[in-house]
Amino acid sequence: MNTPTSADSANSSSRNLFTRFLDTVEWLGNLLPHPVTLFAFLAFGMVLLSGLFGWLGISVEDPRSTAAAGATIEAVSLMNAEGVRRILGGLVSNFVNFAPLGVVLVAMLGVGVAEKSGMLSALVRSIVLNAPKHVVTVALVFAGVLSNTASEMGYVVLVPLGGAIFLALGRHPLAGMAAAFAGVSGGYSANLLLGTIDPLLAGITQEAAQLIDPDYEVFATASWFFMIVSTFLITTIGSLVTIYIVEPKLGQYDDSNADPHVLDDSQMSPITAQEKKGLKMAGLGMLGVLALIAMLVVPENGVLRDPEAVAAGGDFLSTSGPFFSSIVAWIFIFFLVTGFAYGKVVGTMKNDRDVIDGMASAISTLGLYVVLVFFAAQFVAFFGWSNLGLITAVTGADFLQSIGLTGPLVFILFIIMCGIVNLSLGSASAQWAVTAPIFVPMLMIIGYSPEVIQTAYRIGDSTTNIITPMMSYFGLILAWATRYDKQFGIGTLIATMLPYSICYFIGWSLLFLLWVFGLDLPVGPGSPTFYSVAGQ
């Protein structure tokens, strides 16, 4: 019999403390209702609060110049006859006019075709399986980041593929899964391309910004420049953490506790010659789309130029112009053309019915999202009607200014707060729909643009995605991991991913501070860094 050493006891004690911490996180998360129920409660609570604050006569001084000197923002009660009429009469318009709804539905129509044709799966496999062995870790994390364009495809295809690839190379399969998971989920807000999450979050940010500036527009490209550079940062950090922290910690793989059929994974199959032809055709389709865009924006009389901006001597691709206003349409066209071109070659897209099936399949997966949006839209509308959003923002901004917290530190604290909230509310859109109406106006008042605020939020949200059991695909990742180790539990998964989370937070936050405060670079095309409330 082996006698436990003091080191074993320390490890056991540490593990017990960590397990208790995880149990607490799980217990707190389980106290939250379903996100749909949560937004229903928040909407109802907002009506009650508006009645209370209206009855108390709560008000703050209006910081906007459009208001006369000494004007105030007063709480508006929704618990009276006029409020009831407004609520009942606005249920439909609140829903259909909610900015993220339409853009997500349109973008998903194109992504659905690309996913149904098999193009996205083939593209990811071609990147990872064709990489030289010594850079396979880098390729895996990089492919994980890119897979975010297609939403859940990375979780379903790439994470199990990562385990199979590492196992085939004689490396620990759980390290391969961790590397892929770190790219897919931890790097959720980094990418070279725009995905469905970008217009969704931009729409929520715009709704919140319009509490301060009714004419403010936020485009899907709001954080694109920062996302592109972040792709290489996340790939580098994820690869280094895998090689120097996670793999040494996991040690040599022992398959005695694995599923005997663990190698029977169809996702491991390399791309076929036909799939290669399909990807080449998809590439030609992509060039065709880019050529079409060039024809519409490069010529002097291009229909997507901004004539007013050109006349004023500004950038003909102004973010207020027609090109960026139509960016969601281009996302749709890009995936539709490339997906169909690929599918036509490999035989998965034979006619218009296959295209329609792909679109319908994508939309059918959004049923829960549509329900969520209905209640989220009511909450956001009630928040705006009652003026509680403005009152909260002005009060919070005044407090930050009074304690001198208006510089870089305010964003570090904001990123940390977003990361903590994400531990219990795993949906990026649901979390932002709750927090944006408070923090976007608040940080706008102290001088920062909605685009910069959204970028900071996305860092906090992404860095803790990989360590929260509340993330919708966390259970799926755990199920995949148990194929390689039947004893693998939720605590082991979080402990494995925690180094990524910590390193991502430090590296990404430093990049953000350098980008915004050191170099004063725009986080996206035409995205300002600072915002001035009129009159200040």
DSSP conformation letters of 167-182 = HHTTS-HHHHHHHHHI
Give pLDDT tens digits for 166-175: 887 778 889 9
Question: Three-state DSSP class for 38?
Answer: helix
Phi, psi of 73 (to 5 degrees): -105, 120
- Backbone phi and psi for residue 335, each to the nearest 5 degrees, phi listed first: -75, -30
pLDDT tens digits for range 211-228: 888 888 888 888 999 999
Question: Half-sphere exposure of residue 436, counting CA atoms within 13 Å on the CB side?
Answer: 35
The Cα–Cα gap between 516 and 414 comes to 15
Amino acid, res. 242: T
The contacts of residue 460 (CB under 8 Å, 6+ apart) are: 414, 415, 416, 417, 418, 419, 421, 422
For the stretch 360-406, pLDDT in tens is 987 887 777 788 778 878 887 887 788 886 777 677 667 766 777 77
Element (H, E) at 61: strand 59-61
Report the distance separating Cα 222 and Cα 99, nearest Å.
15
Structure confidence at residue 307 (pLDDT): 66
User: In the predicted model, what is the mean pLDDT of residues 326-344?
Assistant: 87
Highest mean pLDDT among 56-70, 444-458, 474-488: 444-458
**3-class SS of residue 312:** coil
> Which residues are registered as beta bridge partners of 59?
74
> Helix axis angle, 327-346 relative to 273-297, nearest 10°?
150
The residues, any chain, with a CB within 8 Å of residue 297's CB and separated by 6 or more, are: 304, 305, 316, 317, 323
Q: At what angle do helices 352-364 and 99-117 cross, to 10 degrees?
A: 130
Task: Report the alpha-carbon distance of residue 42 to residue 376 in Å, rounded.
Answer: 9
